[in-house]
């Protein structure tokens, strides 16, 4: 295999990708890289030829490990890799300047530039994301999307031990704060040297736009408040979502709910998620239309979906914002004991909120899907009345957030091995099936008796997982998919539009 100096071609990539450096800066960059990897003589940094900048950076990280500059663990490697790749990433000011220059050409040109930058410098972990298992599964609600999340590598015990020794810090306040931009990272906090954020005005406030490091769909992005404050759903939320769609019409944008259990994993920082992807819920059709006399230019209907979704469509942002605010206000105070729906406890604790999703429909109109959420618990359902129930938690027990509401399951990596053991069990091969999967596996064995073989067992198991995910979403739906549940849904809508 051909060996060559590894520093020189990496500097060439830096100069190609980062115009703040010129050819005159080669020696400066060479010495900066040597200092980072702890090698004194550039002639010593030889190795197998690499053609991609990320691969080049990781070979340089190997030299840092071999020289004793960094310890050989995942966190230390990622911190140094991000530092090296930050050299080929323009400064935030330059990224912002170029983004908004391209925006004058088109929003798509601007986001294409920024997304390429974020993948080329390994901020968006495309190699790890490619490890995820993805497939679609037919259900009564259309094809749902299933992802077994393998992108985040398992922590090595040595890494966990090292992280435990790191002093606790409140900086950055959370992983969504703008103070993450360029942050070195530490053993118990991700590396962010190569992180860049585009600033933009959102209804008079400064917000940031970035891509998600472990994206679950095409151009998975995050819109985040410059101020570290808790998430909330109110009139301003709807106004903000439409303002973002107006600026980035090729993206959808939505918000997690703002209450525990039904909310996302990061409720401490106001943010939305978006991207360039059509989810199963986007494809779902309205099955019942309603006329709202107060808003004659808005179409309103119930979506055929396992969760309780009201769809509003029209061309007037103002009307849609007003109508959505009325739905939210009505839902926050609405109770229906016949459906176990309770707006608040005797002590005033609120249980109702909405997961809103905005995009442009095929007619170029604004579309706003309002997903009704209720975060009550009970003795029978201590994890949540409208949360995955115990009999499906062997597949999914975590919160049902924005992405999953729309029909894309993010399932834990543990399932890859566990499902393989289920397949072995179904084929009556030696196996170590988990106890929690046994009842489900026995049902499958009974249903497909005499039909299971090596060629079809994986498909049967995976499609069954899709059916279970549909049940998970039905559990999270406040108005159930029964005649009684849908009649109750219609009563709520009547309460809103009367």
Give the integer Cα–Cα distance in Å for 309 and 482. Answer: 15
pLDDT of residue 266: 86
Axis-axis angle for helices 74-86, 26-37 (nearest 10): 170
pLDDT at 326 over 80: yes
Whether 129 is in a domain gets the answer no
Whether 55 is in a domain gets the answer yes
pLDDT at 247 over 80: yes
Whether 324 is in a domain gets the answer no
Going along 361-437, which residue ranges are E strands?
A: 366-374, 408-411
Whether 22 is in a domain gets the answer yes
Share of the chain above pLDDT 70, in %: 96
Whether 328 is in a domain gets the answer no
pLDDT of residue 175: 95
Lowest average pLDDT, out of 7-21, 149-163, 276-290, goes to: 149-163
- Per residue in 353-397, pLDDT (tens digit) is 999 999 999 999 999 999 999 999 999 999 999 999 999 999 999
For 260-401, where are the alpha helices, taking DSSP H only? 280-283, 317-332
Name the nearest CA neighbour of 485 among 338, 355, 386.
338
pLDDT at 448 over 80: yes
pLDDT at 157 over 60: no
pLDDT of residue 156: 54
pLDDT of residue 154: 57
Give the pLDDT mean for 217-236: 97
pLDDT of residue 27: 97
Whether 173 is in a domain gets the answer no
Determine the 3-state secondary structure of 179 from DSSP.
Answer: helix
What is the overall mean pLDDT for the chain? 95
pLDDT category, 47, cuts 50, 70, 90? confident
Whether 382 is in a domain gets the answer no
Give the pLDDT mean for 106-135: 97
Neighbours of 292 (CB within 10 A): 19
| Prediction pTM value | 0.94
Q: How many domains does the chain have?
A: 1
Give the integer Cα–Cα distance in Å for 40 and 35. Answer: 8
What DSSP string runs through 115-151? HHHHHHTTSS-HHHHTTSEEEEEEEBTEEEEEEE---
pLDDT of residue 161: 56
pLDDT at 141 over 90: yes
Give the pLDDT mean for 31-36: 96
Give the integer Cα–Cα distance in Å for 29 and 87. Answer: 8
Whether 7 is in a domain gets the answer yes
Show the domain range for 80: 3-90
What DSSP string runs through 10-59? HHHHHHHH-TTS-GGGHHHHHHHHHHHHT-S-GGG-EEE---SHHHHHHH
């Amino acid at each position: 295999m051909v060996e060559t100096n590894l520093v020189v071609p990496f500097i060439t990539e830096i100069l190609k990708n980062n115009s703040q450096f010129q050819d005159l800066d080669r020696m400066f960059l060479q010495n900066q890289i040597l200092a980072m990897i702890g090698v004194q003589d550039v002639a010593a940094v030889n190795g197998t030829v690499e053609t991609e900048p990320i691969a080049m950076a990781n070979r340089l990280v190997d030299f840092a490990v071999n020289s004793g500059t960094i310890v050989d663990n995942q966190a230390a490697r990622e911190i140094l890799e991000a530092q090296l790749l930050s050299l080929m990433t323009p400064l935030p000011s330059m990224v912002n300047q170029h983004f908004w220059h391209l925006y004058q050409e088109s929003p798509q040109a601007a986001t294409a530039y920024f997304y390429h930058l974020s993948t080329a410098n390994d901020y968006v972990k495309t190699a790890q994301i490619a490890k995820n298992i993805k497939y679609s599964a037919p259900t009564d609600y259309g094809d749902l999307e299933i992802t077994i999340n393998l992108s985040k590598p398992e922590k090595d015990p040595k890494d966990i031990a090292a992280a435990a020794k790191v002093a606790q810090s409140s900086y950055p306040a959370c992983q969504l704060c703008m103070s993450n931009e360029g942050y070195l990272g530490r053993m118990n906090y991700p590396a962010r040297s190569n992180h860049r954020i585009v600033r933009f005005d959102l209804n008079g406030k400064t917000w940031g736009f970035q891509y998600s490091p472990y994206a679950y769909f095409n151009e998975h992005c995050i819109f985040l408040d410059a101020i570290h404050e808790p998430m909330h759903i109110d009139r301003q939320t709807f106004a903000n979502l439409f303002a973002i769609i107006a600026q980035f019409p090729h993206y959808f944008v939505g918000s997690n709910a703002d209450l525990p259990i039904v909310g996302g994993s990061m409720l401490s920082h106001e943010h939305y998620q978006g991207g360039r992807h059509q989810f199963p819920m986007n494809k779902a059709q309205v099955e019942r239309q309603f006329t709202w006399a107060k808003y004659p230019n808005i179409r309103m209907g119930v979506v055929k979906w396992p969760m309780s979704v009201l769809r509003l469509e029209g061309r007037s942002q103002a009307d849609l914002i007003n109508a959505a605010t009325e739905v939210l206000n009505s839902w926050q105070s609405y109770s229906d004991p016949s459906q176990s729906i309770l707006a608040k406890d005797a002590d005033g604790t609120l249980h109702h909120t909405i997961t809103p999703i905005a995009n442009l429909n095929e007619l170029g109109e604004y579309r706003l899907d309002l997903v009704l959420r209720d975060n009550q618990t009970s003795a029978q359902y201590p994890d949540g009345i409208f949360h995955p129930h115990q009999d499906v938690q062997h597949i999914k027990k975590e919160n049902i957030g924005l992405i999953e509401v729309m029909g894309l399951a993010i399932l834990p990596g543990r399932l890859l091995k566990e499902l393989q053991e289920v397949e072995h069990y179904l084929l009556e091969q030696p196996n170590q099936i988990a106890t929690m999967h046994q009842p489900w596996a026995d049902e499958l064995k009974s249903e497909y008796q005499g039909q299971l073989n090596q060629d079809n067992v994986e498909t049967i198991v995976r499609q069954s997982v899709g059916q279970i995910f549909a049940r998970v979403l039905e559990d999270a739906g406040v108005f159930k998919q029964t005649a009684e549940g849908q009649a109750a849904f219609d009563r709520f809508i009547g309460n809103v539009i009367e």
